[in-house]
Structure 1
């Protein structure tokens, strides 16, 4: 039987809804306390500052987001290119929902661009590095040469797709990024095969 969420988890969940929906600068601690149904004293008991709460919001999204990418990849058929393209297609599907507001990690980073040492910036960077490491693992497992370089290029396509869809509100940009990702890994595979011959 699942345990009920703790007060801390309940606060983070309420903050996540508000931060993702409205942006971190637009949301006050009063609004978070009201959404969570707790007093500000309780809120500050669990989080010393709004900065700590913003970092917790991103930390809570880290593993679920990465697990979702892994699941989409694992459940797709075909070669590495097909499976990566499937991840982008699932993201495009998510982006077609009117409540989709882009990548929470990128949006938070944009709001805090002038504060590189902010704990939320550290959480965002850590998440993106974990996604990149996972991509490098999948590229290495598929026999790609220079998997770390390839993963970095895939990250550029992924984050570029997120940013462009958020700007234009057109999920087709993520689909196009997925096609580019598939072409990129197939080109890398073709080079590897020609080098073997």
Structure 2
């Protein structure tokens, strides 16, 4: 069998991502991650000082790819700023229809670690949500919307609520409804500046 050319740390994070996203962080042992990554437990602990360190690395590795996906969905949607914001939700709803979709890995991890607010993964999750909010504020500010930070925060609340409600009901129509609400908020803000 040919040797995997990816760096060991990367293989471990990718294995952890598949298992943690699919099964949850608490139900997946370090042994299971090591086995999936095809490394020994000792090798895993050489790269990560603890399971908590590995959980943090898993979330950290999701930050930029998730932001790039939102940016791509925004850019690929034709039309006005409200349509582009709604396009993020429309594409998310398409993703949620996939049988392996399990919601937002950041929110699911936060739910599992709710009693550990100082956990490094909680800090990374908070940073990711702030990054999404900042990115949204930037695209709306570029679109001529004043006080874009406040509007971005409202859209993040809709986005996270849509993730959670869809995970509970298994119905992506909740994401689409949140997208229409987000577009309505943007349209209302555009209407106020005229």
TM superposition score category, shorter chain reference: over 0.9
Q: Aligned partners of 1:75, 1:16: CA distance in 2, in Å?
A: 27
Q: Aligned partners of 1:191, 1:24: CA distance in 2, in Å?
A: 45
Match of 1:133 in 2: 134
Match of 1:82 in 2: 83
Alignment partner of 1:162 is 2:163: yes
> What is the number of residues matched between the two proteins?
191
Q: Which runs of 5+ in 1 are unaligned?
A: none
Structure 1 residue 81 displacement after superposition: 0.5
Give the 4+ runs in structure 1 shifted more than 6 A. Answer: none
Match of 1:6 in 2: 7
Match of 1:67 in 2: 68
Secondary structure of the corresponding residue to residue 138 of structure 1 = helix
Alignment of 1:178-193 (within 5 A): 178-193=179-194
Q: Aligned partners of 2:154, 2:5: CA distance in 1, in Å?
A: 41
Superposed CA offset, 1:89-136 (max 9, x none): 000000000100000000000101111110100110011100000000
Structure 1 residue 31 displacement after superposition: 0.6
When normalised by structure 1's length, the TM-score is 0.95
Alignment of 1:1-197 (within 5 A): 4-193=5-194
Secondary structure of the corresponding residue to residue 137 of structure 2 = helix
Superposed CA offset, 1:29-79 (max 9, x none): 011111111100000000000000000000000000000100110111111
Structure 1 residue 4 displacement after superposition: 3.2
Q: Aligned partners of 1:80, 1:115: CA distance in 2, in Å?
A: 38
Q: Aligned partners of 2:5, 2:94: CA distance in 1, in Å?
A: 31
Q: Which runs of 5+ in 2 are unaligned?
A: none
